[in-house]
Structure 1
Amino acid sequence: MAIFNKTMKETHEEISLRHSEDNVSLPQICRQERIVEMVQNKGFISTDELVSVFQVTPQTIRRDLNELDRQGLVLRHHGGASLMASSTENTDYQQRKQQLNEEKQAIAKRLATRIPDGASLFINIGTTTEAVAHHLLGHSRLKVITNNLHVAAILLKKSDFTVIIAGGEVRNRDGGIVSQATRDFINQFYVDYAIIGISGINTDGALLDYDYQEVRVAQAMTANAKHTLLAADHSKFGRNAMVRMGNLKHIDALFTDRNPPDLLTQYIQESHTELVVC
């Protein structure tokens, strides 16, 4: 906590110094300091929420977010802002579980309606795919192969489900199983649906993630499924990561909580990928 407070103090001083140089009013400085705090606490915050909290116009908030993005203090998104993203390292698992939970639940609930009883599934690593697993508990006779220990634990609550855990090395940080052995295991199956999460979606349709081994397992899942359903909240649009998993044109449907930016929406339409806004 002391380290966090020190970091926040340094952030406040940094904002104040920069704004004093730019001759920006004190109320704006205070508002922007508070915005940085809120983003650090929540991971992502929407423009609408900031408008409600500060009782200012959307244009004012957009200017604040653009300025904070320019300073490298937050990452500006369509509709809000998030923590600065690294192209080499994902956000902590526990933090990701708390971020945009309502949006993830809406996505998961809608996606689960697409899965018929008795279907066979792959489900990969991710907090959104874990939310999907919860919403699949109302189904019957599902056969699920997963490299996510959390997903397996959720689905084991149903006695009529068959749950198969892919072999390989277990990651302590998030319960994911990733290795060459995992890929070899996945390649032995051919299922109805692959339910996939991803860390970033570029405007050219590139699906991006952080871990090469994890990506290779996801690629094996999509290659061995009749249909691939991608679950990704709006904070993934434009988010950078260094490992390419694939492209949206090879995905049957993208389930998300907001319309993507215009360039990405155009690409989705040209790729004939179904867009489901939940």
Structure 2
Amino acid sequence: MASRAIDRSFNPRQAAIVQRIEEGGHATIDDLVAAFDVTPQTIRRDLTLLADAGLIARFHGGASPVNSTENLSYQDRQILNHGAKEGIAQLVAQQIPDHASLFINIGTTTETIAQALLQHRGLQVITNNLHVAAILSPKEDFRVIVASGEVRARDGGIVGEATLDFIRQFKLDYGIIGISGIEEDGALLDYDYREVRVAQTIMEQSRQVLLAADHSKFGRRAMVRLGHITQADVFVTDVPPPLAIVEQLTAAEVRLLIAGDA
């Protein structure tokens, strides 16, 4: 990956940090402390400065490229922008009435949404995410159904032809979808074509589609096209999207909800 141009106001260490993160796909604070022989406090200040300039994306304990074409590990994604995900989750949960039926797909954002749904009553949930099932199943008034298929060891996601066949048997009130990347033209992108096929099927079988993504997904690259942002009925995020995306949402009458707005 070609390194992006670095403003001259950044020192050589900071420029080297950006290059190391881009070449490695991500880097932890401990990695960078060892590499540059400085204190963790110095690295944290560097990462904050670089993130504010839009050169990297921060997560708790490290950073990744802003337009990474590789997915982070499940553990890193769990803590990346967790506060933003919690705000999004609360706003998504507010859109779901008690006793509704819904699909919930794979992702750490949708897992955070599942936690926010525990205050509801009488939900019927179908999911291809074992973590979502584990969160929701202890609620005695919920009915939780796990899709059939192959379980991915890295994140508890369930994918495959059997998953598609299973989901096609249902038509539910809501589909809650997370996504890895949103390009400026509105394309929804993800990393695993099998996961994308399941998400597409969930969208087809849902009466309303709620798309949830934090700001780090804007402009983030991934290889597989899931669809277009205008296929959602509601888009929930934590900061105002780029103007081009807002214009597309407005033209398609997709409701935009921003966590933290009054």
Structure 1 length-normalised TM: 0.75
Q: How does 1:1-278 map to 2 (within 5 A)?
A: 28-32=11-15, 40-41=27-28, 65=53, 69=55, 74=56, 82-83=64-65, 85-87=67-69, 89-278=70-259
State the shift of 1:250 in Å: 1.1
CA distance in 2, matches of 1:139, 1:265: 31
Structure 2: which 5+ residue stretches go unaligned?
A: 30-43
Query: What letter matches 1:195 in structure 2?
Result: I
For residues 189 and 63 of structure 1, what CA distance do their matches in structure 2 show? 43
Q: Could you list the per-position Cα deviations for residues 204-234 of structure 1 after superposition, in whole angstroms to 9, with x for gaps in the alignment?
A: 1111111111011111101001000001000
Q: In the alignment, is the contact (CA less than 8 A) between 2:67 and 2:219 conserved in 1?
A: no
Q: Deviations over 1:36-90 (max 9, x none)?
A: 8998338xxxxxxxxxx869xx9xx579947xx5xxxx479xxxx8425443x31
* Partner deviation per Cα, 1:168-190 (whole Å, 9 max, x = no partner): 00000000000000000000000
Amino acid at match of 1:124: N
Q: Structure 1 pair 32/125, CA: closer, same or farther in 2 (3 Å)?
A: same
Distance 2:234 2:28 in 1: 32
CA distance in structure 2 between the partners assigned to 1:64 and 1:234 by the alignment = 13
Distance 1:270 1:169, change over 3 A: same
Task: Tell me which protein shows more helix as a share of its residues.
Answer: 1
Aligned residue-pair number:
234
**Contact 1:107/1:255 (CA < 8 Å) preserved in 2?**
yes
Q: What's the TM-score once normalised by structure 2's chain length?
A: 0.80
RMSD of Structure 2 on Structure 1 (CA): 3.1
Larger-gyration structure (1/2): 1
Q: Distance in 2 between matches of 1:37 and 1:214?
A: 29
Task: Say if 1:245 and 1:63 are closer, same or farther in 2 by CA, change over 3 A.
Answer: closer
Q: SS state of the match for residue 174, structure 1? A: coil
Q: 1:155 is matched by which residue type in structure 2?
A: L
Contact in 1 for aligned 2:66/2:220 (Cα 8 Å): no
Secondary structure in 2 matching 1:275: strand
